[in-house]
C-alpha cells in the first residue's frame, strides 16, 4: 500500500517545515538522544526545541504504529476475500487507530455471540431478507416458515425472527459510520453521572454523591476522582444520553421502506443493537478516552511539578542540619558539610510521648556549635510544624546567624530502604538515612531527587491512579531533561545522576564511578573514552553535558561540545583573546564582538559552523559556570514560627508554592497547613491553567482571604490590590 506522508502531517501539526521533521526523525532513528539533538544539532533540526522534538518523536511513533496496524487489518480482510476497493480506501485514509478498528470490526475474529449462534442455525439468509426490506409476495409467516427447524433449535417462527434480528443487530453495531456518529453524539450530549451507592458513606466524595456534567466539558481531575470513587465501591458512574435520538439516527440509516412487512423487525433490531451492543461499547470507549485524556493531563501536571522541584536552586557553601520529624519514634537528625558529606547523626525526642523538649534543644545546639551549622532543613511530614517550633526556639537562643527551611520529604523513606542508600551508608540503620536525604535536598535538589523513583516525589494530582507505565515514561523524560539542562560535574556526580545524562545508561554510570575510584578525578573529557563501555557514540552524546570545573582545558568546564573545540579556539584567536581572559571574565567575548561590529553569521561561515552553534559557543563562554537553577526563586529562610491564630484577613505574606494542580496551587506560608490559591485568585484575568502562572518552588506574595482554623484551611489570593 502507498505510504502516507507522515512528515507533512507532523509538520502541519506544529507549524514547521517537513524538512525539519524529516531531519529530526533521521537523527532520532540513528539513536541520538533528545537532549543531544535539541542542544547540539540545531542546524539539522532548524532550531527545534525539546517540546517540538518530543512531539515529532511521539507522533512519528504513533503514525508508524497506525501504519503497521492498517497493513495488518488489510491483510486480514484480504485473506477473508472481503476487501473491496472502497473499504481499502477508507482504511488507508484513516488518520486514527479508532477509525481503523471500527472499519475492521465486522471482519475481526470474534467469540461466539448470539448472532454467530443464529448463523449456525441457518438464519443468515432470513436476516438478509429482513434487512433488505423489499416488497415480497406472501405473509411474514410464509417467509419465515422454511427457517423453522426443531433440530436446529428453531422451534417456532418467533425463534427464527429473533435469531435473524440478532444477526441484523450485530451487523448494525459493526457499521463504522453508525459507531462514529453515535460516539460523536454521546460525547457531545452525554452526561457523565455519578451517584452514591451509600449516601451515608461518601467521605471525600461528597460532591459526587449526586453529580452530572457534560462529557465534553468535564475536567480531568473530576474524571479521576469519579474513577477512584467507583473503584472503591462508593460511586456508581455512567453516561446518560437521549437514547431515542440515537435510535432515530440509526433508524434513518436502516429503515428504508415503511411499507415493508419487515419494517417492524428492522426497527426492533435497531433498538436491540443500540441498547445491547452499541451504547455499552460506546460508553466504555468514551470513558476510556476521557480517562486517557485525564491521565495525560495529570501526568503532564505531575511532570511539570517534578521538573520545577528538581530545578530548585541549590543552597551552596552551607553546613546543613537535616531533621526527619516524628513523634513516637523521635526526630532523626543529621549534619552534612558543604559538599554533602555526612558528619554526624542523632535521634531526639522532643514530642509526645517522651517530651524531652529542653534536652532536645540542648542536643541540637551542641551539634550546631560543633559543626557550625548554617541552616536547618525540616521535613514536611508528621510532626513537622511541632519540630519547626523547636527549631525556632533553638535559633532564638543561638548567637550565630541561623535559619530553618521546610523541605519536602516525599520519597525519603523510599530512598532510605533503597539499594543505593544502603550502598551510600552501609553502616547506618535505615531510619537514619532519610534525614541525610532531607538535608541534601536543600543543598542540591537535583542530585538528591534523582535517587528516588519520581512517582514517590508526590507533587501531582492522582498520580497513583493514572497509567503507571505512561507516568514512569513521562517522568524519566523529565528527569533526563532536567539533568541535561543543568549539566553534571563529571567528578562529583553519583551514578544515580550520571545514568540520566544523554548517552549514558546505568551500566556506563557504574563504570564511570568505578573508573574514578581506581584512577582518581577525571582531568579531561577525552579521558571518558577510557571508561569501559563508553564508546565513540556514547562520548558524542554525553560529553557536552559532562563538565570538569577545574580542567586544564578550559573548554572542558563549559557547555561547548568537544566537536566544536577547534572552532571555539579559532574564534578566540580571531578576537585576539586568550582562554585565561575568557575564563576570568566571559563578558569580554561579547564586548569584543560588539566592539569590532562583527556579524555572527559571517563569523559562523568563517569558522565552518552553523549560526546556532556559534551562538551557543559564545553564550557558553560568556557564562562558563552558569547554573540555570540560580535564576529560580531561592527558598525562604525563616527564623520564627507563624501560627494559624496569627493570621488575619488581608494579611500579605511570602510563601513557597508546594504543589500545582488543576484548580490552583498550594502555598506554604509558614503555618501548619498550606494555603490554597484558587486559580480564580491567581490574576485579574481568567486563568485556565495554573501552571501558566506559578510553578513548584516559586516564592510569591499572597494575601489571606479566609481562615478556617478548625478545618485547617486557608484561602489565599495572589491579587493583592
CATH number at residue 703: 2.40.50.140
Q: Are residues 94 and 119 in the same domain?
A: no
Residue 633, judged by CB atoms within 10 A of its CB (0-12, 13-18, 19+), counts as middle
Say if CB 289 and CB 227 are below 8 A apart. no
* Together in a domain, 74 and 51: yes
pLDDT at 1 over 70: no
To the nearest whole number, what is the mean pLDDT of the chain?
93
For 306-322, write each residue's pLDDT tens digit.
Answer: 899 899 999 999 999 99
Are 134 and 235 in the same domain? yes
- The SS3 assignment for 546 reads strand
Q: What pLDDT does residue 4 have? A: 66
Q: In terms of Cα–Cα distance, which of 158, 134, 133, 137 is closest to 147?
A: 158
Q: Are residues 241 and 358 in the same domain?
A: no
Residues 192, 249 within the same domain? yes
Whether the per-residue pLDDT at 86 is higher than 90: the answer is: yes
Asked if residues 562 and 590 have their Cβ atoms less than 8 Å apart, the reply is: no
Domain boundary among 383, 406, 440: 440
| Residue 450 resides in a domain | no
At residue 134, the pLDDT reads 85
Specify if 176 maps to a domain.
Answer: yes
Give the span between the Cα atoms of 131 and 251, in whole angstroms.
Answer: 12
Find the mean pLDDT for residues 264-276.
Answer: 96
pLDDT, residue 424, reads: 92
For 361, which DSSP code?
H
Rg of the chain (C-alpha set):
33
Mean pLDDT, rounded, for 256-279: 94
DSSP state of 2: P
271 and 342 share one domain: no
Supply the CATH number for residue 42's domain: 1.10.10.650
Q: What pLDDT score does 380 carry?
A: 87
DSSP string, 148-185: -BGGGTB-SHHHHHHHHHHHHHHHHHT-HHHHHHHHHH
* pLDDT value of residue 13: 94
Give pLDDT, residue 172. Answer: 96
Sort 149 into a burial class: Cβ within 10 Å, 0-12 / 13-18 / 19+: middle
The answer on 688 and 664 residing in a single domain is yes
Specify whether 187 is located in the same domain as 293: yes
Question: 413 and 382 in contact (C-beta within 8 Å)?
Answer: no
The helix-helix angle for 50-79 and 85-92 (nearest 10°) equals 160
Give 632-681 pLDDT, tens digit per residue: 888 888 888 888 888 999 999 999 999 998 899 999 998 878 999 999 99
Give the CATH number of the domain where residue 142 resides.
1.10.3500.10
Task: Please give the C-alpha separations between residue 448 and each of 262, 343, 399, 454, 604, in angstroms, as whole numbers.
Answer: 73, 17, 31, 11, 39
* Distance (Å, whole) CA 406 – CA 399: 22
Lowest mean pLDDT among 465-469, 539-543, 568-572, 674-678: 465-469
The range of the structural domain enclosing residue 330 comes to 315-440
pLDDT value of residue 334: 97
**Spatial separation of the C-alpha atoms in residues 42 and 6, rounded to whole Å:** 22
Cβ atoms of 695 and 658 within 8 Å: the answer is no
- 637 occurs within a structural domain: no
Q: In this structure, are 127 and 269 located in the same domain?
A: yes
Each residue of 627-646: pLDDT tens digit? 898 888 888 888 888 888 88
Q: What is the pLDDT of residues 185-215, one digit of tens each?
A: 999 999 999 999 988 888 889 999 999 999 9
What is the structure's pLDDT at 60? 96
Question: Is 653 within the bounds of a domain?
Answer: yes
pLDDT band at 455 (very low <50, low <70, confident <90, very high): confident
pLDDT at 577: 92
Q: What is the largest CA-CA distance in the chain?
A: 109
Is the pTM of the predicted complex or chain greater than 0.95? no
Which residues face 335 on adjacent strands?
Answer: 321, 344
Is it the case that residue 28 has pLDDT exceeding 70? Answer: yes
Q: Which residues contact 462 (CB under 8 A, 6 or more apart)?
A: 221, 224, 225, 228, 298
Q: Are 221 and 294 within 8 A, CB to CB?
A: yes
Phi-psi region at 697: left, alpha or beta (left = phi > 0; alpha = psi -120 to 50): left
Residue that has been written with the C-alpha cell 585576539 in this structure: 576
Q: Which helix (H) or strand (E) holds 291?
A: helix 279-310
Contact between residue 369 and residue 316 where contact means Cβ atoms under 8 Å apart: no
Q: In the chain, how many H helices and how many E strands?
A: 31, 15
The pLDDT > 90 percentage for the chain reads 78
What is the per-residue pLDDT across 111-144, written as a single tens digit (0 to 9) for each? 899 999 999 999 999 999 999 998 777 889 899 9
Answer yes or no: is 536 within a domain.
no
In this predicted structure, what is the pLDDT of residue 472?
86
pLDDT of residue 462: 75
Asked whether the predicted pLDDT for residue 44 surpasses 90, the reply is yes
Q: What is the pLDDT of residues 495-519, one digit of tens each?
A: 999 999 999 999 999 999 999 999 9
State whether 601 and 684 are in the same domain: no
Question: Does residue 654 sit in the same domain as residue 608?
Answer: no
> Of 63, 91, 107, which residue constitutes the final position of a domain?
107
Over residues 574-610, the pLDDT tens digits come to 999 999 999 989 899 888 888 888 889 998 898 889 9
Tell me, yes or no, whether 631 lies in a domain. no
Contact by Cβ (8 Å): 523, 583: no
Residue 554 domain-assigned (yes or no): no
Q: How confident is the model at residue 78 (pLDDT cuts 50, 70, 90)?
A: very high
Question: In angstroms, rounded to a whole number, what is the distance separating the alpha carbons of residues 705 and 694?
Answer: 19
What is the predicted pLDDT for the residue at 203?
86
What integer is the mean pLDDT of 327-353? Answer: 96
The rounded percent of the chain whose pLDDT value lies above 70 is: 99
The span from the CA of 559 to the CA of 91, in Å, is 48
Is 168 among the domain residues?
A: yes
pLDDT greater than 70 at residue 422: yes
Q: Are residues 357 and 253 in the same domain?
A: no
Say how many domains are in the chain. Answer: 5
CATH classification of the domain holding 359: 3.30.420.140
Predicted confidence (pLDDT) at residue 2 exceeds the cutoff of 60: no
Give the residue from 50, 84, 107 where a domain finishes: 107
Amino acid at each position: 500500500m502507498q505510504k502516507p506522508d507522515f512528515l507533512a502531517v507532523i509538520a502541519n501539526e506544529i507549524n514547521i517545515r517537513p524538512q525539519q521533521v524529516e531531519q529530526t526523525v533521521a537523527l532520532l532513528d540513528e539513536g541520538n538522544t533528545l537532549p543531544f539533538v535539541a542542544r547540539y544539532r540545531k542546524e539539522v533540526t532548524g532550531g527545534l526545541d525539546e517540546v517540538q522534538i518530543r512531539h515529532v518523536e511521539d507522533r512519528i511513533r504513533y503514525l508508524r504504529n497506525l501504519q503497521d496496524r492498517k497493513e495488518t487489518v488489510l491483510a486480514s480482510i484480504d485473506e477473508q476475500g472481503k476487501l473491496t476497493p472502497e473499504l481499502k480506501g477508507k482504511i488507508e485514509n484513516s488518520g486514527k487507530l479508532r477509525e481503523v478498528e471500527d472499519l475492521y470490526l465486522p471482519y475481526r475474529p470474534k467469540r461466539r455471540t448470539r448472532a454467530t449462534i443464529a448463523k449456525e442455525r441457518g438464519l443468515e439468509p432470513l436476516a438478509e431478507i429482513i434487512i433488505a426490506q423489499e416488497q415480497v409476495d406472501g405473509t411474514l409467516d410464509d417467509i419465515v416458515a422454511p427457517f423453522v427447524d426443531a433440530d436446529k433449535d428453531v422451534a417456532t417462527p418467533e425463534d427464527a425472527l429473533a435469531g435473524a434480528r440478532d444477526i441484523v443487530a450485530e451487523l448494525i453495531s459493526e457499521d463504522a459510520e453508525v459507531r462514529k456518529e453515535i460516539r460523536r453524539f454521546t460525547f457531545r450530549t452525554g452526561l457523565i453521572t455519578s451517584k452514591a451507592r451509600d449516601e451515608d458513606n461518601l467521605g471525600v466524595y461528597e460532591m459526587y454523591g449526586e453529580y452530572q456534567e457534560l462529557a465534553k466539558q468535564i475536567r480531568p481531575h473530576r474524571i479521576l476522582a469519579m474513577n477512584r470513587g467507583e473503584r472503591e465501591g462508593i460511586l456508581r458512574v455512567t453516561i446518560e444520553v437521549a437514547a431515542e435520538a440515537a435510535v432515530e439516527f440509526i433508524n434513518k440509516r436502516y429503515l428504508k421502506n415503511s411499507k415493508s412487512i419487515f419494517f417492524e423487525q428492522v426497527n426492533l433490531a435497531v433498538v436491540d443493537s443500540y441498547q445491547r451492543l452499541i451504547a455499552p461499547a460506546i460508553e466504555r470507549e468514551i470513558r476510556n478516552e476521557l480517562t486517557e485524556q485525564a491521565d495525560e493531563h495529570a501526568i503532564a501536571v505531575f511532570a511539570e511539578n517534578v521538573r520545577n522541584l528538581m530545578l530548585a536552586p541549590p543552597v551552596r557553601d552551607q553546613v546543613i542540619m537535616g531533621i526527619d520529624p516524628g513523634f513516637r519514634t523521635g526526630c532523626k537528625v543529621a549534619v552534612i558539610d558543604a559538599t554533602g558529606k555526612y558528619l554526624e547523626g542523632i535521634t531526639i525526642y522532643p514530642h509526645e510521648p517522651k517530651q524531652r523538649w529542653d534536652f532536645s534543644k540542648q542536643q541540637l545546639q551542641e551539634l550546631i556549635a560543633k559543626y557550625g551549622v548554617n541552616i536547618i532543613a525540616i521535613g514536611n511530614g508528621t510532626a513537622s510544624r511541632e519540630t519547626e517550633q523547636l527549631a525556632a526556639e533553638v535559633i532564638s537562643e543561638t548567637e550565630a546567624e541561623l535559619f530553618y527551611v521546610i523541605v519536602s520529604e516525599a520519597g525519603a523513606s523510599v530512598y532510605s530502604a533503597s539499594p543505593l542508600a544502603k550502598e551510600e551508608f552501609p553502616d547506618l540503620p535505615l531510619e537514619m538515612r532519610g534525614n541525610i536525604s532531607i538535608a541534601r535536598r536543600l543543598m542540591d535538589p537535583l542530585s538528591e531527587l534523582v535517587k528516588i523513583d519520581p512517582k514517590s516525589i508526590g507533587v501531582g494530582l492522582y498520580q497513583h491512579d493514572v497509567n503507571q507505565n505512561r507516568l514512569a515514561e513521562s517522568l524519566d523524560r523529565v528527569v533526563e531533561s532536567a539533568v541535561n539542562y543543568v549539566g553534571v560535574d563529571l567528578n562529583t556526580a553519583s551514578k544515580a545522576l550520571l545514568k540520566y545524562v544523554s548517552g549514558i545508561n546505568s551500566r556506563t554510570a557504574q563504570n564511570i564511578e568505578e573508573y574514578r575510584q581506581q584512577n582518581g578525578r577525571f582531568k579531561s573529557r577525552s579521558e571518558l573514552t577510557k571508561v569501559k563501555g563508553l564508546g565513540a557514540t556514547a562520548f558524542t552524546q554525553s560529553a557536552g553535558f559532562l563538565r570538569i570545573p577545574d580542567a586544564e582545558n578550559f573548554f572542558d568546564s563549559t557547555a561547548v561540545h568537544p566537536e566544536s573545540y577547534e572552532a571555539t579556539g579559532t574564534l578566540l584567536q580571531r578576537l585576539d583573546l586568550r582562554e585565561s581572559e575568557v575564563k576570568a571574565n566571559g563578558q569580554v567575548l561579547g564586548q569584543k564582538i560588539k566592539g569590532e561590529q562583527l556579524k555572527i553569521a559571517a563569523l559562523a561561515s568563517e569558522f565552518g559552523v552553523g549560526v546556532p552553534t556559534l551562538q551557543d559557543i559564545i553564550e557558553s563562554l560568556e557564562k562558563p559556570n552558569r547554573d540555570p537553577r540560580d535564576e529560580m526563586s531561592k527558598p525562604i529562610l525563616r527564623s520564627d514560627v507563624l501560627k494559624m491564630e496569627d493570621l488575619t484577613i488581608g494579611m500579605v505574606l511570602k510563601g513557597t508554592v508546594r504543589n500545582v494542580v488543576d484548580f490552583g496551587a498550594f502555598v506554604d506560608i509558614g503555618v501548619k497547613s498550606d494555603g490554597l490559591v484558587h486559580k480564580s485568585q491567581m490574576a485579574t484575568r481568567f486563568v485556565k491553567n495554573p501552571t501558566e502562572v506559578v510553578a513548584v518552588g516559586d516564592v510569591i506574595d499572597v494575601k489571606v482571604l479566609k481562615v478556617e482554623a478548625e478545618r485547617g484551611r486557608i484561602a489565599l489570593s495572589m491579587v493583592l490590590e
